[in-house]
Structure 1
Amino acid sequence: MLLITPTDWGSCADIRGIAGVCHDHGIPLIVDGAWGAHLPFHADLPPWGMDADADLVVTSVHKMGAAVEQSSVFHLQGDRVSPEVLKQREDLLGTTAPPHGPAGTHPAGRGAAPSRTHPQGRRRDAGAAPDG
Structure 2
Amino acid sequence: MIKKALIIIGVLSVLFFTVGAYFINKHWHIYVKEQPKMYVYDIFRGTSKSVSVIIIEDKELKEPYLEYYNSLQNGIEPILDDRIPLKGLPQYDPVYVLGYTNDSLLAEIVSYYDRGARFGGSYLQGWVYSKTLHKEPFN
Q: What's the TM-score bracket when you normalise by the shorter of the two chains? A: under 0.3
- TM-score, structure 2 as length reference: 0.22
> 1 or 2, which has the higher helix percentage?
2
- Higher RCO (C-alpha 8 Å, min separation 6): 2
Specify which structure has the higher proportion of strand.
2
State the TM-score, normalized to the length of structure 1.
0.23
